[in-house]
Amino acid sequence: MGGFMKEFKEFIAKGNVLNMAVGIIIGGAFGAIITALVDNVIGPIIGMIIGGIDFSKLAITVGSAQLMIGAFIQAIINFLITAFVLFCIIKAFNKFEREKEPEPEPEPETPADIALLTEIRDLLKK
C-alpha cells in the first residue's frame, strides 16, 4: 500500500497534471464568461435583429412522440454564436501577442575581408 501511495503522490506532483488541472479550472471559468457574454449581450442583440424568434419551443409530433427539434436548432445557434465570439476573442489576443513580440534583428553585414576570404575558399573548393 505504501508503494501505491508513493507512486500516486509522484503522479500528482508532476507538472503536467498540475498544469492540466489549472487549465481545466481556467477553461471552466472562461467558459462561464463566454456563456454570460453570449446569453446576456450577444443573444439579445441577435434576438432584436431576427425579431425575437425563439426556436426552443418548435416541435414536431410523430405519432405519440414529440420531437423537440427547436431545442436542437437553438443549441446549434448558441454553439455557433459562442464559437464566433470565442474566435474573435482569440483572434484579438493573438494579434496583441504578435504586436508585443520584438521584431527580429537583421543579420549583421559580413565585413569585406571575411566576404573575400569566403569567396576565395569557395573558389578553391571548385
**Placement of cell 436542437 in the chain:** 72
Count of beta carbons in the 10 Å neighbourhood of residue 38: 20
| Residues facing 60 on adjacent strands | 67
Question: Cell numbers 575581408 correspond to what residue?
Answer: 113
Instruction: Please say whether the dihedral angle defined by the alpha carbons of residues 16, 19, 25 and 26, taken in this order, is positive or negative.
Output: negative
Structural domain boundaries in the chain: 1-51, 54-126
Confidence label for 117 from pLDDT (cuts 50, 70 and 90): confident
C-beta pairs of 11-14 under 8 Å, 24+ apart in sequence: none
Question: What band does 31 get if pLDDT is binned at 50, 70 and 90?
Answer: confident
Q: How confident is the model at residue 86 (pLDDT cuts 50, 70, 90)?
A: confident
pLDDT tens, residue by residue, 32-80 = 888 888 778 877 787 788 777 667 778 888 888 988 888 888 788 878 8
Q: Which three cell numbers stand for residue 41?
A: 449581450
- Residue of 80, 101, 76 whose CA lies nearest to 34: 80
Residue 61's beta-bridge partner residues? 66
Query: 9-18, 22-31, 85-94 — which is least confidently predicted?
Result: 9-18
